[in-house]
Structure 1
Amino acid sequence: MPASPTTPAANAARPRIAVLLGDPSGIGPEMAVKLLARQRNLDAARVLLIADPVVLAAGERIAGAALDPLRLDGPDDLRFEPGRPSLLACDWMHGEAPVLGESNARSGRASFEALELATETVRRGRADAILFAPLNKHSLRLGGLQHEDELRYMQERFAVQGFVCEFNLTGSLWTSRVTSHVPLKDVAAQITGDGVCDAVRIIDAALRRAGVAAPRIAVTGLNPHAGDGGSIGMEEIEIIAPAIERLRAEGLDARGPFSPDTVFIGARRGDVDAVVSMYHDQGQIAMKLMGFEQGVTLHGGLPVPVATSASGSAFDIAGQGIAQIEGLQQAFDLCVRMAAAGAPH
């Protein structure tokens, strides 16, 4: 007879997802509590909740829900009960409730420590994926982050060599980018042929693993009108177009370079499966307009799935109990699918 969802065999088959509350001063704790209050999520995975009890209590109060987690004695005491999250509690806030609605070092340190513990849990083979509620990069830096962003931090923690990037998903459309969280004044100098090729190759491989047999990938230009034949810049002619030709010679369906202000019109219509942009806002503005509340960010190139919602820490509505969680739900579902399949990502 097949194992039921409550039997040990079924429990062991479900992936182990480490869930983090995000920035304590933002909407993350509220979102994570709302997510884990949905019983279907606790039935789909073994959830390891890594949290400061004070922050968790604040999230429960704001969300109007109580989680009743199984409290663990420490990192070496990893146990799960069907239908309940397991709580690895850490006193990062030293008993002080988070100050809502602003970047601050205390909240940044707590969210950074949670990220560090989650990566260590994965390194020790005790979690199959990481899901985090929205972080705040300024707070993370106030709290000790020295890297460009959390992706580069995790790349170092996992000793990953080579190219990593954020994928952003809205429905069936994916994006990646050649540069990420760098000042706009530094972007042009970081656009290289190898960088364009890496960004296309990594999203092509991810789409194939997600079931897209022959991904169609649009590549943007850097300049307005994709350089307009060289009259508004030469990067398209000298760097991006030659990189696309290299990719096509490898058998990838890379197209472009397209004008950044029109490429998403065809992408939204379904002309391509992914868009590779040159810098953060080229893709992010369009993707968030198309589906901000359902958007997902997936960190590509790491040894396990690491995902979050596309929405940020939203300090302006922190504590109001109105944060939507569908993006975080989509991110959780993606982590569960990828971790259950055991596929590289």
Structure 2
Amino acid sequence: MIKIIAVTMGDPAGIGPEIIIKSLIDGPLSGAPAVVVGCAGTLRRVLSLNITPAAELRIIKNVADAHFAPGILNVIDEPLADPLALQPGKVQSAAGDLAYRCVKRATELAMAGEVHAIATAPLNKEALHSAGHIYPGHTELLATLTHSRDYAMVLYTEKLKVIHVSTHIALRKFLDTLSRARVETVIAMADTFLKRVGFDAPRIAVAGVNPHAGEHGLFGDEEITIVGPAIAAMTAKGINVYGPCPPDTVFLQAYEGQYDMVVAMYHDQGHIPLKLLGFYDGVNITAGLPFIRTSADHGTAFDIAWRGQAKAKSMAVAIALAMQLA
């Protein structure tokens, strides 16, 4: 049975349409079993820029109508009211609404079993919010659409994998809401995720909250009162988990092979090392959903949108990984 992937356009005014076309037309994924959920009119505009070899755009109503062959782009059309009015590189509410509709449509297809995973191109949060869809990002939007309670963001490269306790919240709010239960949940999701992708006995490191993991309470007590007890509880359940580890060294240790994944406490703690070491091939995965979701690990890059300059490697890796995990 062919495992079909839905690829959402993201914000059409960003680099999403370009990197999707480059990924599915110009490279080893050409002809892969992927359907694009997005605005066909926008894709035609980007194709007319001749940034890739010639391609045939096929609009399909149902996933079953797709024909997978090199040079063919199968598209489930979620149209803009006026595709020609879209301005590349600009925040527009119509673009934010389209990004939302594409994710919603792809989620419906996945929940119905018509596609087996979703790979998402980047959306713009300001445009999303201006359209009335008040979500911090893809992760929270997908969790809402699937009614998922326990979920977490995973950043994935071959040599470094990071899962987050919190993501798109202020640091002050993170410190106020950090709990032992959440840390335990994320450790369990890390173990489940790693086993799903082929690690028989995952080794999970948990980063501390404070400098030097608190230095035995000198620089904060979250490691003593929250993180340490969570690690002890999950160790008792048979998970290979270590820490709390000093955040300034644990990511390098994982990169060099000592651990298979790091539990990061907050957004930038995990994102900075991952993007430094794997910006172009990093993939964003949402753990805890009822289906696999991967994403290019970068933003909409409005400054280079529709200029043929965008690198498609992260998007291509996201699509390939979605196929592999599905």
TM score, norm. by length of structure 2: 0.93
Q: Is 1:231 the equivalent of 2:218?
A: yes
Match of 1:342 in 2: none
Cα shift at 1:217: 0.8
Mapped partners of 1:82, 1:151: distance in 2? 29
Cα shift at 1:93: 4.0
Mapped partners of 1:103, 1:254: distance in 2? 43
Say if 2:78 and 2:98, in contact at 8 Å, map to a contact too: no
SS across alignment from 1:96? helix
Mapped partners of 1:109, 1:246: distance in 2? 43
Say if 1:44 and 1:336, in contact at 8 Å, map to a contact too: no
Cα shift at 1:158: 1.8
Letter in structure 1 aligned against 2:98: A
Letter in structure 2 aligned against 1:201: A
* Structure 1 range deviating more: 139-148 or 263-272: 139-148
Mapped partners of 1:194, 1:77: distance in 2? 40
Q: Is 1:329 the equivalent of 2:316?
A: yes
Match of 2:166 in 1: 179
Task: Number of aligned residue pairs: give it.
Answer: 323
* Structure 1 range deviating more: 274-283 or 173-182: 173-182
SS across alignment from 2:35? strand
Q: Which structure would you say has the larger RCO, counting Cα contacts within 8 Å and 6 or more residues apart? A: 2
Cα shift at 1:43: 3.5
Match of residue 24, structure 2, among 27, 36, 43:
36
SS across alignment from 1:256? strand
C-alpha change, 1:132 and 1:63, in structure 2 (3 Å) is farther
C-alpha change, 1:175 and 1:107, in structure 2 (3 Å) is same
Cα shift at 1:78: 3.8
Mapped partners of 2:64, 2:170: distance in 1? 41
Say if 2:165 and 2:264, in contact at 8 Å, map to a contact too: yes
Match of 2:142 in 1: 154
Say if 1:29 and 1:58, in contact at 8 Å, map to a contact too: no
Letter in structure 1 aligned against 2:247: P
Match of 1:67 in 2: 55
Mapped partners of 1:132, 1:28: distance in 2? 9
Match of residue 121, structure 2, among 123, 133, 155:
133
Moved over 3 A (4+): none
Match of 1:167 in 2: 154
Percent identity, aligned pairs only? 32
Say if 1:112 and 1:144, in contact at 8 Å, map to a contact too: no
Cα RMSD between the aligned structures?
1.7
Q: Is 1:80 the equivalent of 2:70?
A: no
5 Å-filtered alignment, 1:240-259, equals: 240-259=227-246
Cα shift at 1:276: 0.3
Say if 1:33 and 1:63, in contact at 8 Å, map to a contact too: no
Match of 1:272 in 2: 259
SS across alignment from 2:67? coil
5+ residue gaps in structure 2? none
Match of 2:109 in 1: 121
Letter in structure 2 aligned against 1:177: H
TM score, norm. by length of structure 1: 0.89
Say if 2:23 and 2:29, in contact at 8 Å, map to a contact too: yes
Letter in structure 2 aligned against 1:122: A
5 Å-filtered alignment, 1:294-313, equals: 294-313=281-300
Cα shift at 1:154: 1.6
Letter in structure 2 aligned against 1:305: I
C-alpha change, 1:44 and 1:30, in structure 2 (3 Å) is closer
